[in-house]
């Protein structure tokens, strides 16, 4: 099966319904639901209603693990991951995306790898994928906010979400990362980065990442997972939002055309 081309609702964070509408209008194969403080993202019934209204399937579910969504579904990160798996199972999504634990989540961090393995063991359930994150530069220091996010930690994850913008923010070469994780990249968050302005999530072509080369390498490897455009569309002027969404869809379709 060729990869599906999808839109993350985080692209218009926190407006979940707008994400479904844009995905439908621009011919995306599905959506990734970013669970957040928008009530339309928080229940199985709500996201199923949007899926039915706009005729767009839900391909993946993103755990509410951002700093701004720490309060969503309570403050227990393990329970939020388990609930995301339950939502994905109920809506027919086959991937759950989770960030590594924050440094202050030490107990969760100690059990994180085993928890991910446990939740992925079910043959009927979704694959839990761990997403690469990035360092933060503050007051002349480089700070890594996440536990279990070093290269040696990722060596232990069987399924990875490769986020290209996060790699750019971390000053990493996305082609080298893909090579290091070859065979374990199960999910792709696709966006661009200038690699010098933090986590940007730019539309493809507006940064300097070799996204076309990455797509070619993945096509050559018969990547059959989900390609998810996770682009900061919501930050753009409303007058250009539709055109940028269309351009993002067209770029992904063309980049992965060899396998589609």
Mean pLDDT of the chain, nearest integer: 94
pLDDT at 58: 98
Q: Give the range with max mean pLDDT: 116-125, 144-153, 174-183.
A: 174-183
164-196: per-residue pLDDT in tens?
999 999 999 999 999 999 999 999 999 999 977
pLDDT at 72: 96
Q: How many domains does the chain have?
A: 1
Over range 1-25, report the average pLDDT. 95
3 state SS of 146: strand
76-105: per-residue pLDDT in tens?
999 999 999 999 999 999 999 999 999 999
- CB–CB of 204/251 below 8 Å? yes
- CB–CB of 39/46 below 8 Å? yes
Query: What does residue 32 show for φ and ψ, rounded to 5 degrees?
Result: -105, 125
CATH of the domain at 139: 3.20.20.150
53-71: per-residue pLDDT in tens?
999 999 999 999 998 998 9
pLDDT at 123: 75
Residue 259 has pLDDT above 90, yes or no: no
Residue 124 vs residues 27, 47, 112: alpha-carbon distances, Å? 28, 20, 21
- Rounded to two decimals, the pTM is 0.95
What range does the domain containing 85 cover? 4-259
Q: What tokens were used for 196?
A: 């010098």
Residue 128 has pLDDT above 60, yes or no: yes
pLDDT at 260: 53
pLDDT band at 136 (very low <50, low <70, confident <90, very high): confident
* 136-138 vs 185-190, strand pairing mode: unpaired
Residue 122 has pLDDT above 90, yes or no: no
3 state SS of 93: coil
Residue 135 has pLDDT above 90, yes or no: no
pLDDT at 32: 98
């Amino acid at each position: 099966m060729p990869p599906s081309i999808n839109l993350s609702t985080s692209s218009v964070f926190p407006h979940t319904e707008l994400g479904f509408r844009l995905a439908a209008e621009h011919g995306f194969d599905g959506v990734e639901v970013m669970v957040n403080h928008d009530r339309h993202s928080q229940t199985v019934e709500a996201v199923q209603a949007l899926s039915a209204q706009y005729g767009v399937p839900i391909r993946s579910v993103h755990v509410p693990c951002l700093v701004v969504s720490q309060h969503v579904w309570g403050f227990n990160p393990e329970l939020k991951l388990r609930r995301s798996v339950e939502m994905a199972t109920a809506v027919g999504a086959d991937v759950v995306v989770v960030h590594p634990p924050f440094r202050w989540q030490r107990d969760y961090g100690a059990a994180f790898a085993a928890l991910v393995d446990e939740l992925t063991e079910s043959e009927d359930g979704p694959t839990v994928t761990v997403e690469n994150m990035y360092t933060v530069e503050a007051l002349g220091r480089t700070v890594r906010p996440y536990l279990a996010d070093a290269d040696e930690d990722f060596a232990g994850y069987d399924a990875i979400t490769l986020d290209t913008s996060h790699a750019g923010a971390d000053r990493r070469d996305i082609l080298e990362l893909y090579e290091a994780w070859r065979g374990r990249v199960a999910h792709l968050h696709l966006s661009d980065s200038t690699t010098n302005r933090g986590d940007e999530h730019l539309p493809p072509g507006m940064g300097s990442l070799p996204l076309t080369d990455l797509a070619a390498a993945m096509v050559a490897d018969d990547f059959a997972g989900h390609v998810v455009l996770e682009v900061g569309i919501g930050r753009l002027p409303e007058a250009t939002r539709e055109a940028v969404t269309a351009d993002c869809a067209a770029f992904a379709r063309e980049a992965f055309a060899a396998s589609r």
